[in-house]
Structure 1
C-alpha cells in the first residue's frame, strides 16, 4: 500500500498516530559499510476510542534486534468459530499485571500454536471439493442432495477464507 492509500485508509477508520519514542530509526542496512542506511519505516495507529482509553500510550523503539520469527495475523482466522473465544480466554488467563507487550507476546504464541491446527485453505483443497461435488451431480436421491448442499456450504466457506487470506 502506498503512503496515500495508507492515509486514505487511516482517515476512513478515523485512526490516529501513536507517538513514537526512543531510537529514531527502525530499519538499517550495511552497518559498518560506506553505504550504511537507516530509515524510519514503522508507524503505529490506533482508534480514537483506544487513544481516549490510553491517552499516555506511546511506542518505544529500540535498536535491539529480535531473532524471533515475526507473528503474522491472518484475516481468515476471524471466520473461525473458535477464534474469538481463544483470544478472549488467552487474554484473560494472562497475568493481569503483565505489560501489554507481554500479553500480546503470550497471545501471539498461542495463536501461532492454534493456527498450526487450522491449516490454510489452498486452491488444491477447493478444487478437490469442487471435483467431489461435480461427481455427485449424477446422484439424485435425497441423501445425496443433502450431502451436496453441505458440500456447497463448505466450499463457500473455504472460498471466503481463501479470499480473506489474500486480503
Structure 2
C-alpha cells in the first residue's frame, strides 16, 4: 500500500468484515476487507462514506461505498424519539404543549412533535453546556 501511495479510508458500521463459526466458542471475527485510496481519489470524492453492512449468506460483510455522502440534498427526515428526553422534567409538559398546538391529522402532529422535541432538547443542551462552562470558570476562579 505504501509503495502505491494508498491509505485506508476508514469505515462506519461493525468493526469486523469476516466471521467464521456460528457458536460462541468457535466464532472468529476479523477486519479483513478494507477500502483504500490514493490522493487523487480523495480529491475526487471528499464526501464519501464506507459502510460495513450486515452479512447473511457469506462469511464476508458487504462494503457499501457512497461517494457523495455529504452532498445528499434529498435526505428523508425521520422522527426518532430519544429515551434521554424522558430524563428531563419538562418533557411531559413539552409533549403536551406541542401536541395541543400542532394542527392537522395525526401524521402532521407526529412530524410537528419530532421537530418540536428536537428543538426543545437542543435548547436544553445549550443551557447545560452554558452552565457547565460557567461552572468551570467559577471553579477555576475559586
Q: Aligning the two structures, in what range does the TM-score lie when normalised by the shorter sequence?
A: 0.3 to 0.5
Quick one: higher RCO (CA 8 Å, sep 6+), 1 or 2? 1
Name the TM-score, length of structure 1 as normaliser.
0.32
From the two aligned structures, give the one with the greater helix fraction: 1
Name the TM-score, length of structure 2 as normaliser.
0.37
